[in-house]
Amino acid sequence: MGIAHSLYSHAIRPVVFRQPAEEAHESTKRMLKGSMPMGLLSSYSDLGKDKLSVDLGGKVKLDGPIGIAAGFDKDAEMLDGLSQLFDYITIGTLLPYKWPGNPKTASGDPSTSRIVRLEEEEAMLNCLGFPFSGLDNALANVSRYGASIPINASIAVRPPQEGQSMEDVIEQFKSMAGMIARHVPSRIAMVEVNFASPNTKGLAVFFEKGVFEELSTTTVGVLGGKGALTLMKMPPHLDSQTRARNIGVAKRWIEAGGEGLTVINTVKTSDPRLSMGAGGKSGRPIFDTMMGNLKDYRQALGPEPIINAVGGITAERVPQAIIDGGADTVQVYTPFIYHGPTYVRDAKAALMRSLKSKGIGSLGELRQKAIRQADSLVKT
Ligand SMILES: Cc1cc2nc3c(=O)[nH]c(=O)nc-3n(C[C@H](O)[C@H](O)[C@H](O)COP(=O)(O)O)c2cc1C
């Protein structure tokens, strides 16, 4: 363990963890809003550029395979700091409008909250429900950004509310896509549609036929047409029925022209400490589910579609997700909270060691190998 990691886990994290999680996130934001302190670490994330660069479908070139996952920088406020640490930044989930998210406590009960840390498991529970400062504000933040690394915009709409029809919601989605398209490809290089959160009731309505096709066609036409790489974030599957539904959704997405998936969102979990009584679990304990789901998608879709893996990928597990699981990139949220700013350096060092021990020259070579293997399986 290096000095910087030790400093984080023995000095910084214990202080940060004394604050409730949402307050701690505000402190982190203040630190990552500027690039100065993180600039000291930037050389760490450059590690292995020649071997670890990734080409996503000829559209997006990354210096390495590690991105910050959706939900960490919901309002695109930390772009300067995060660009010093990661190879790409996911912003959002963006909505077409400002939204407070779910209640911060259950009927004012101060023993409940929207984020609960499970320190022993290196996990978190959250039931935030897409709090968002508004599309104008987030896109103004994006405009100010110097675009030193690519942005992936996570987007969603909420199911029809009282007095609203599905057509109204589809219109909201289209208008949001139009506004985001103005920043593609100069600043926003990828778009990740997220109907996968367990914290917004009824979100799976968007996976239903007809609605899904219309939203997919809009995403691929309006945003993909301007040059954005188009991704769909998938909810986890833990049983065969949900597995069949998810694989079906993924296939329809690729048929509609979508270029890839992000696998997986959090795993629904009940807990009385959460303001909603239930939320999504993230971090170490969901890794095995993520790996199983990842393999299911690779098997069903073959090696061509891009797949970003996310879910409990600690630095030492990055080689497993990429080399064994066939992920093109990994995204991280909870392990970054537990591990600190040296996460990317440690993950890249582990990946370089693993590639070397397997005699693989680079991530580009690994992908070519997977495609050749799949081709030879088809021919035999
Ligand atoms: C506090 C919190 C907020 C999140 N918000 C979002 C979100 O707005 N959109 C989304 O697609 N995923 C969101 N996620 C899910 C993460 O992007 C990721 O899929 C999940 O946490 C699993 O990865 P991890 O184990 O690296 O955290 C959130 C996760 C956490 C912990």
CA angle 188, 89, 21 (to 5 degrees): 135
Q: 3-379 has which CATH code?
A: 3.20.20.70
pTM of the model: 0.96
* Distance from residue 330's CA to the centre of ligand 1 (Å): 13
Q: What is the pLDDT of residue 372?
A: 87
282 lines ligand 1 (CB under 6 A): yes
* Protein residue whose Cα sits closest to atom 7 of ligand 1: 71
* Protein residue whose Cα sits closest to atom 11 of ligand 1: 70
Give percent of the chain above pLDDT 70.
96
Query: Can you tell me the mean pLDDT for 141-147?
Result: 91
Q: Which atom of ligand 1 is nearest to the CA of 74?
A: 8
Q: What is the pLDDT of residue 44?
A: 58
Per-residue pLDDT tens over the stretch 299-327: 999 999 999 999 999 999 999 999 999 99
Q: What's the pLDDT band for 375 if we cut at 50, 70, 90?
A: confident
90 lines ligand 1 (CB under 6 A): no
